[in-house]
Amino acid sequence: MKKIMAYLTKDKYASMFDIVVSCDSGADVIATYTSVEEATIQEVVYGLAFTRHPRDIKNGMIFIGGSKVPEAESILEEVIKVMNTIPEVLRASVVIDPSGAYTTSAAAVVKIMKAVQALNLENPKAVILAGTGPVGMRIGALLSKENIQTRLTSRSLERAKKACEDIKAKYGFEVEAVEASDEEGIRRAIDGCEIAITTGPPGVRLLPKKIWKSSKLKIMVDANAVEPYGIEGIKVNDDLTSRNDGLWIGALGIGNLKIKLHRKLIERAFQEREIFTLEKVYEIVKTL
């Protein structure tokens, strides 16, 4: 029986990245629903539900992709709403990973926790610089879930607060909002932290050596794969690499695990029917 993925996004195109990973993880046929609207979502959920025997429902799944996380999450809400109108056994799996935000943040945090353990840090504190994007926010949520006291910065305090409120509302975890609009702000933000994560835009340096050299930072993590990287001195391939008495993790160090996780999610989705929430994704990455 063919494994069928319904790919939903409000973008105009399905991500080639997602398509390749899906094919490599078991999908035989990918039906793309781009620029998707509410009415279509019901037809997709029903189409996966009412065409096969309940024991075969797991050979279908929904992947919610695209470049915009809020749009993807509103699709997820609608999917869940429709699924709640049909018997549980007829509900196909749902994976959501717009911009790779779920898998990237889960991969980053599992790497960080390995570093914390390796360095034997007790009650470390973390700061996410330029953390109001989808990856930064989810890293914040997962660190907080791991009981790590976490700050999240933005050049605008208002935006940082908004992000932290969203994290609280969405995931129930507390993250502290901090303004960091200049060198002085960044110094204050990293003060007292052992862990720094930079999730700024590609090619923007957030943490120069002159700032981090006088800090107590041990674990340095950068999500930026385009030079100059977010942290001075980091290499894109750093993967718990020993630097400056600490362990550093570059964008590809995260990225390699992220792809492995992405593949695992699709495989799992075709094995058991479930909705892969951020927390479920994080549980899975810990097993890889």
Q: Which residues bind a copy of itself (CB under 8 A)?
A: 1-2, 4, 6, 12-21, 23-24, 28-33, 35-36, 40, 43-44, 46-48, 50-52, 60, 255, 259
Q: Which tokens sit at 67?
A: 């470049």
Six token digits for residue 9: 């996004």
CB of residue 288 vs a copy of itself: minimum separation in angstroms? 17
**Pairing verdict, β 219-222 and 239-243:** unpaired
Residue 27 or residue 163: which is nearer to a copy of itself going by CB? 27
**Min. distance of Cβ 72 from a copy of itself in angstroms?**
16
Region class of 171: left (phi > 0), else alpha (psi between -120 and 50), else beta: alpha
135-166: buried (b, 16+ CB within 10 Å) or exposed (e) per residue? Answer: bbbbbbbbbbbbebbbbbbbeeeebbbebbeb
Minimum CB separation of residue 156 from a copy of itself in Å reads 27
**Minimum CB distance to a copy of itself, residue 265 (Å):** 14
Name the minimum Å distance from CB 88 to a copy of itself. Answer: 18
Residue 126 pairs with which residues in a beta bridge? 150, 195
Closer to a copy of itself at the Cβ: 9 or 154?
Answer: 9
Choose between 51 and 181: whose C-beta lies nearer to a copy of itself.
51
Q: Decide whether 17 or 286 has the Cβ nearer to a copy of itself.
A: 17
127 φ, ψ to 5°? Answer: -130, 135
- For the record, the structure tokens of 68 come out as 């915009």
Strands, E assignment, 67-185: 93-96, 125-129, 149-154, 176-179
Closest separation between CB of residue 255 and a copy of itself, Å? 8
Instruction: Tell me whether residue 17 or residue 70 sits nearer to a copy of itself (CB atom).
Output: 17
